[in-house]
Amino acid sequence: MRERAVCIIIDTKERTVLLMHRIKAGREYMTLPGGKIEPGETPEAACVREALEETGLSVTLGKKVRVLFNLGRVEHYFAAASFSGVTALGGPEREHNSPENFYEPLWVALERLGEVNLLPEEAVEMVRALA
C-alpha cells in the first residue's frame, strides 16, 4: 500500500498555515505539504524531506497528529514544532510545475481556512485543532 507523509506548518505569530495551491486535472484546490514515503524511509524522515522539497523550509517535527486512509493510501500527518528558511517551491514539484500540474506554496490566514478548498476535508479539522 502506498504511504504519504504530510507536514502541518503553522506560523503562530502571523496566524497562518502553509498550504500547497494545486491545479491538477482541471481541479483547483489546496493541500498540506507532503508526499510519498520512499522505500526504507520512515514517515518522519519523509515528512521532513517533503517539507523542504515543496516549501523550502527546514522543519523540526512535533507530534504525529493523525494517520488517515485517503485516496487508496495511508497518510501520516505531523505537526511542525519549528521551521526556518524562505518559502519557495523546489524539488520535483518545481521541475514539473506547469499550468496543467501547478504547485505553489501559500501562507493562508487561519481565519480563511474555511474559504479555501483544502483537501482532504479532515485537514481543516487537524489544522484548527493545532492552531
Nearest to 19 by CA among 102, 106, 89: 106
Q: Does pLDDT of 1 surpass 80? A: no
Domains of the chain: 2-130 (3.90.79.10)
Q: 3-state DSSP call for residue 64?
A: strand
Its pTM surpasses 0.85: yes
30 Cβ contact partners less than 8 Å away, ≥ 6 residues apart: 19, 20, 21, 22, 106, 108, 116, 117, 118, 119
Pairs from 121-124 (Cβ < 8 Å, separation ≥ 24): 122/66, 122/68, 122/70, 123/31, 123/32, 123/77
Residue 124: exposed, middle, or buried by beta-carbon count in 10 A (0-12, 13-18, 19+)?
middle
Give the pLDDT confidence of 62-120 residue by residue, as tens digits: 999 999 998 889 999 999 999 999 999 988 888 888 888 899 999 999 999 999 999 99
